[in-house]
């Protein structure tokens, strides 16, 4: 009933190929965009921005990036934390060495730098697969964190080894530093997320995405039908690195403002983003959003329910949270290996017929 195709006529190829072919979906998408751009900025406050929206937006970009690599191209990566650190430190060096350039371009260039680093660490993927590649990217994770801790040039020789985001503006409005308004940081990240999602969506349904998926499904067969594994794998690492780098740059400059590499971009971060795409759905743009939203919101909701409503001790709630996240991952792997995205797909199928199942 809700997801009706009947009466929704397509008269051109582009109309037939659009991202949301069903009218109801399309309307939902536009409504979401309008709410995100025109409603939320007016009602957002510091708490909502810093506890929920900024982490969600930034993790969603990272999840998009990782999903391209793991979900679409099938190359398992445990180096996300390290690559985010590359984005963050690149952004820091750019911000401090070229203060006259707009932060917007710094973030994009940081993505580019991360893409280059990611390609270098992606080279082993041409020879090794599966678990062995995971171990190779794990090495990247540890190496990069060690590097940023060890080489003082990266943190401008500050005594503490921390990097601090100086104040930067876009159109005269502060987006980094302590005096930012919640709506400004929110919109800044939102613009990056929407652009990233559009790029990712269009890449994955085009030639590049088909090549990645061919490599993922069976690399030998893909090679036989003319997919160049070198180009496909390296381009997946580059695109993935670009998004992950952007998320790392935003994570440092807009969200946290001060970063210590070992603590913020450690192995936990790699796993967190990986869990996001597993719970959200591998090989799905919507899944990246759903997974990020789920893992960002879950701790906050558990805390609100456990501590603020039920008045439980904070440590019990923190432990419960670990138990619940762990249980959910196991349950998802068993019951719905394709994640939240698949649940959403099934719901849509059901809604198409609802309320007449036959």
Q: Which of 76, 118, 317, 325 binds other proteins (CB under 8 A)?
A: 317
Please report how the helices 339-353 and 285-303 are oriented relative to each other, as an axis angle in degrees rounded to 10: 100
Dig out the tokens for 185 from the structure: 């940081």
Rounded CA separation 20/287 (Å): 15
Out of 36, 108, 300, 343, which residue is the one contacting other proteins (CB under 8 A)?
A: 300
Beta carbon nearer to other proteins, 128 or 258: 258
Q: Which is nearer to other proteins, 2 or 318 (CB)?
A: 318
Q: How far is the CB of 76 from other proteins (least distance, A)?
A: 24
Alpha-carbon torsion 226, 230, 233, 239, what sign?
A: negative
Main-chain phi, psi angles of 282, to 5 degrees: -70, 140
**Residue 217 within binding range of other proteins, rule CB under 8 A:** no
What is the rounded distance in angstroms from the CA atom of residue 145 to the CA atom of residue 126?
24
Q: Applying CB under 8 A, which of residues 134, 297, 329, 351 lies at the interface with other proteins? A: 297
The number of beta carbons lying within 10 Å of the beta carbon of residue 194 is: 14
Dihedral angle over CA of 198, 45, 168, 273, nearest 10: -50
Name every residue whose Cβ is closer than 8 Å to that of residue 350 and which is 6 or more positions away in sequence.
none
Q: Which stretch binds other proteins (CB under 8 A): 27-35, 67-75, 86-94, 174-182?
A: 174-182
177 neighbors 257 (Cβ within 8 angstroms) = yes
State the Cα–Cα distance between residues 53 and 185, nearest whole angstrom: 10
Residue 148: phi and psi, rounded to 5, are: -70, -20
Does position 258 interact with other proteins (CB under 8 A)? The reply is yes
Residues from 24 through 53 that contact other proteins (CB under 8 A): 46-47, 50-52
* Minimum separation from the CB atom of position 49 to other proteins (A): 8
Minimum separation from the CB atom of position 315 to other proteins (A): 3
Q: How far is the CB of 358 from other proteins (least distance, A)?
A: 30
- Cβ at position 7, least distance to other proteins in Å: 28
- DSSP tally for the chain: helices H, then strands E: 17, 4
| Residue 219 vs 260, nearer CB to other proteins | 260
- The helix (run of H) or strand (run of E) holding residue 258 is strand 258-259
Q: How far is the CB of 161 from other proteins (least distance, A)?
A: 5
Is 119 or 344 the residue whose CB approaches other proteins more closely?
344
In the complex with other proteins, which residue's Cβ is closer, 75 or 176?
176
Which 137-156 residues touch other proteins, going by CB under 8 A?
A: 149
308 is an interface residue for other proteins by CB under 8 A: yes
C-alpha count within 13 angstroms, C-beta hemisphere, residue 87: 36
**Rounded to the nearest whole angstrom, what is the least distance from the CB of residue 314 to other proteins in the complex?**
4
User: If binding means CB under 8 A, how many residues of this protein chain bind other proteins?
Assistant: 45
- Residue 101 or residue 316: which is nearer to other proteins going by CB? 316
- DSSP string of 145-176? HHHHHH-GGGGTT-TT--EEPPP-EETTEE-S
Evaluate whether 338 touches 281 at the Cβ level (below 8 Å).
yes
Q: Which of 6, 38, 159, 335 binds other proteins (CB under 8 A)?
A: 159
Using the rule CB under 8 A, give the single segment among 24-32, 206-214, 215-223, 307-315 that binds other proteins.
307-315
Query: Which one of 1-9, 74-82, 159-167, 199-207 is the stretch in contact with other proteins (CB under 8 A)?
Result: 159-167
Q: Which residues form the interface with other proteins (CB under 8 A)? A: 46-47, 50-52, 55, 149, 159-162, 164, 166-167, 177-179, 255-260, 262-264, 266, 293, 297, 299-301, 303-305, 307-309, 313-315, 317-319, 322
């Amino acid at each position: 009933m809700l997801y009706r195709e009947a009466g929704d006529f397509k008269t051109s190829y582009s109309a037939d190929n659009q991202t949301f072919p069903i009218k109801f979906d399309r309307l939902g998408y536009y409504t979401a965009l309008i709410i995100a751009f025109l409603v939320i900025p007016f009602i957002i406050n510091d708490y909502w921005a810093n506890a929920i929206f900024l982490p969600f937006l930034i993790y969603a970009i990272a999840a998009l990036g990782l999903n391209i690599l793991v979900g679409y191209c099938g190359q398992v990566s445990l180096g996300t934390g390290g690559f985010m650190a590359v984005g963050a430190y690149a952004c820091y060096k750019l911000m401090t060495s070229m203060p006259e350039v707009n932060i917007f371009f710094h973030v994009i260039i940081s993505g580019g730098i991360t893409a280059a680093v990611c390609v270098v660490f992606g080279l082993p993927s041409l020879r090794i697969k599966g678990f062995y590649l995971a171990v190779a990217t794990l090495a990247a994770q540890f190496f990069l964190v060690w590097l940023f801790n060890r080489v003082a040039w990266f943190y401008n020789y500050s005594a503490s080894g921390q990097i601090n985001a100086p104040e930067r503006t876009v159109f005269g409005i502060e987006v980094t530093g302590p005096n930012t308004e919640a709506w400004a940081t929110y919109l800044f990240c939102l613009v990056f997320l929407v652009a990233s999602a559009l790029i990712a969506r269009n890449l994955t349904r085009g030639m590049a995405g088909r090549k990645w998926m061919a490599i993922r499904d069976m690399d030998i067969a893909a090679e036989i039908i003319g997919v160049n594994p070198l180009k496909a794998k390296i381009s997946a690492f580059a695109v993935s690195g670009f998004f992950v780098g952007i998320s790392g740059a935003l994570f440092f400059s807009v969200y946290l403002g001060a970063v210590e590499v070992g603590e913020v971009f450690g192995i936990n971060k790699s796993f967190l983003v990986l869990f996001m795409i597993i719970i959200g759905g591998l090989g799905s743009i919507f899944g990246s959003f759903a997974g990020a939203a789920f893992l960002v919101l879950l701790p906050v909701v558990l805390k609100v329910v456990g501590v603020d409503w039920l008045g439980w001790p904070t440590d019990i709630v923190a432990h419960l949270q670990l138990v619940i996240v762990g249980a959910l991952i196991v349950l998802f792997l068993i019951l719905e290996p394709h994640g939240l995205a698949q649940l959403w797909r099934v719901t849509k199928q059901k809604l198409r017929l609802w309320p007449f199942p036959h």
